[in-house]
Amino acid sequence: MERKKLADVLRALVTVVFVCNLAALPLVPGLVGIGADGGMGALWTLADGAFYHTLAFFTVCWQYLWRVWRNGYTAVLTAFLLFCGVNTALILWQARRVLNTVVAGLPFQRANARSMRRAAVSFGLISLMALGRTVWGLFYYRSAAPLFTYNALFVPVFGMGCLLCLVMSALFDQAAVLKEDSDLTI
């Protein structure tokens, strides 16, 4: 019973993060554009008052929807963040599917193994994209500075996430086979 409660809480948290991820994805170009044009400090000078700041923020975000693609740096950053955001949403969706079976009391299914493999692919794609952005940064800046950024950190972190999901996939698959054998024996 305790595990089911924990799985319910975890499923609710994953759902909240998934919804927040989807809500933030359309704002990525605007946030990149605002950051490239002086950051939030420049935005706050547009108006006085919290409501006007919020209105100005959303207005400015939509203005940058096409402008960020004109500059090489902002275009690469926007593409990278959108790619990572979409893959993160896919990972969270697969986690939610696995948690649904745990809550139902039937975790050892081949469907969970497939979900973990899909999550592993998304983790691997983020890792490869981060490696590509790090290499791009080495040529763009002509220095070793990109090796000390979050992009370089993403490569091993998401690579390990990929390997962990592959191991979990194999475990779920093996457990499903053992469960099927056990059900047929009885």
Cα dihedral sign, 146-151-131-26: negative
Residue 10 sits at the vertex; the CA angle it makes with 6 and 15, to the nearest 5 degrees, is 150
Q: Report the 10 Å Cβ neighbour count for 183.
A: 8
| Residue that wins the pLDDT comparison between 58 and 166 | 166
pLDDT band at 40 (very low <50, low <70, confident <90, very high): low
| Residue that wins the pLDDT comparison between 48 and 29 | 29
pLDDT band at 141 (very low <50, low <70, confident <90, very high): confident
Q: 29 is written with which tokens? A: 């170009």
Listed residue (93, 86, 89, 85) closest to 11, CA to CA:
93
Cα 172 to Cα 97: distance, rounded to the nearest angstrom? 13
pLDDT band at 151 (very low <50, low <70, confident <90, very high): confident
Listed residue (67, 80, 86, 69) closest to 137, CA to CA:
80
Identify the pLDDT of residue 68: 83
pLDDT band at 71 (very low <50, low <70, confident <90, very high): confident
- pTM of this prediction? 0.84
Mean pLDDT within 19-46:
77
Mean pLDDT for the chain overall? 86
Q: Assign residue 98 a region (left: φ > 0; alpha: ψ between -120 and 50; beta: otherwise).
A: alpha
Residue 106 reports pLDDT greater than 90: no
